[in-house]
Chain A
Amino acid sequence: MKKGIFFTIIIVMLVSILLSLSILNYKNYERNKERLSEIGSLDRLTTITTSISNGFKELFEAYSGINAVSYGDNIVFEETLVNSQSNTFKSKLDSYESYLESQDSSISIDLTEFKSTLPLTIMPHNITYKHNSYGGSQIIVIPSQLNFKKYHLSIEPGFNITSCIWNYTVGSLSFELETGNSGCDNLVSLDYTVNNIININNGGMLINVNNSLRITNSLANSDIKVNITLNKMSNDNPIVVSQVDVMHINYPLLNISRNSWFRII
């Protein structure tokens, strides 16, 4: 009799263990399924944002009139001041925005601020290259802190340099100007906490260096190349992105959304 009870108890225990393990396995499967679904949704969102970002990059390279390159610890922005391609680029951005929004109601593109000053940010240094107005007469470089070594400014002036006056205070920031005019070219160390001014042709072109770099041209269009030599901050190469979030993608059914900038370099 005792054997029977013992046998029954053993069987009940074994079957209960089996049932518990099955339920645990099923619960685990349910959780995995949710995670895989989330990963799949995020993958899908990433693919869409990456492809849109790549489109913006291609439009930027083809139409912005700005050449942005990276080599070693240097980021170089090159454009003509005044940038005559601004209207073409803005219209291409508008048509891309319309196309994307017409294809998917979940996608919202906001280019208002981007088209206004075309702000580009070097990450992780957080140095912004922009304009007072894209298509306007001034280029502005705003570092968040002194985490770079040097500004190297190369100018191919569209005018003859008749005068060039350097008014600067010696400090720790390396600054080099190349204009092709030996009377104007110089390599100095500036004090970036005060206002340093290089005045070309009696205010026709002004270069202000303080906690930002401002190049203002009210003479004939000139090619401006701004080379920023960065401090090494990580093993990864620095990247250049649109400073503002331009893409807003929201998939309520998948319960995911994302705001994103796009990458130039």
Chain B
Amino acid sequence: MMKNKFLKLQFGNKAIIFTIDVLVGLIIAISFLTVSYLYLTKSTNDLPNLSVLRTGDDIFSVMDYDNDLQTLDSSHIQDTTYDLLPDHYDIYVNITSSDGKIINFGGNIPDDRFVASGKRYSVKINQNTTTYLTSRYWMWLK
């Protein structure tokens, strides 16, 4: 007795079922690979971000301990900052003092990448006069 054919094709139903099987297999495999790819590409390394933050802290610690910040001399602080700043970083600096001085310099803060920010407080003692400073910075990879 002959089997009934699903479609009356020359080679019977085997070919179309095989094709559907291959297509379903491919769809599943491609889905798995896509999901895997997405997970892998999301897993970027954030360690350089910490390095940006620490570099900024280091620069301002050095300038504080060397009393560069306490000069409140904009051009001196700017020169020292860029001397200490590694080539592949950029920075924006804002320094305010209790006697009303404000120092700002640096590049435009980007919004398309990680920007590390930090702050430190310093004291400037000149004879019997005391001035308090707040130094803020924003740093990013160029």
Contact = CB atoms under 8 A, between A and B. Distances in A.
B43 interface: yes
B110 interface: no
B132 A36 contact: no
The winner among A18, A47, A48, A95 for most chain B CB atoms within 10 A is A47
The DSSP consensus for interface residues of chain A is helix
Interface string B36-53: 110110111011011001
A29 B40 CA distance: 9
B50 A40 contact: yes
B36 A22 contact: yes
B118 A44 contact: yes
Interface size class of A (residues with CB under 8 A): 35 or more
A6 interface: no
B68 interface: no
Interface in B60-87: 60-61, 64
Interface string A78-115: 00000000000000100110011001100000000000
Given A16-B32, A26-B42, A43 B57 contact: yes
A50 B60 CA distance: 12
Given A33-B46, A58-B125, A43 B54 contact: yes
B35 A19 contact: yes
A193 interface: no
A48 B120 contact: yes
B36 A19 contact: yes
Contacts of A54: 64, 122-123
B130 A47 contact: no
A25 B39 contact: yes
A219 interface: no
A45 to B, nearest CB: 11
B105 interface: no
A48 B119 CA distance: 7
Contacts of A19: 32, 35-36
Contact of B125 (A22, A52, A62): A62
B132 A99 contact: yes
Interface residues of B, number: 35
Nearest to B40: A22
A125 to B, nearest CB: 27
Contacts of A189: none
Interface in A147-163: none
A57 to B, nearest CB: 9
B123 A55 contact: yes
B49 to A, nearest CB: 7
A39 interface: yes
Given A26-B40, A44-B53, A51-B122, 12 more contacts: A11-B29, A25-B43, A26-B39, A29-B42, A29-B43, A44-B119, A47-B60, A48-B121, A54-B122, A58-B125, A59-B123, A62-B125
Interface of A: 8, 11-12, 15-16, 18-19, 21-23, 25-26, 28-29, 32-33, 36, 39-40, 43-44, 47-48, 50-52, 54-55, 58-59, 62, 92, 95-96, 99-100, 103-104
26 contacts: A11-B25, A15-B36, A19-B35, A26-B40, A28-B43, A29-B44, A32-B46, A36-B49, A40-B50, A40-B53, A43-B50, A43-B54, A44-B53, A48-B119, A50-B61, A51-B64, A54-B122, A54-B123, A55-B122, A59-B123, A59-B130, A62-B125, A95-B132, A96-B123, A100-B121, A103-B134
Query: Which are the 6 A-B pairs with shortest beta-carbon distances?
Result: A29-B43, A51-B120, A22-B39, A22-B36, A55-B123, A26-B39
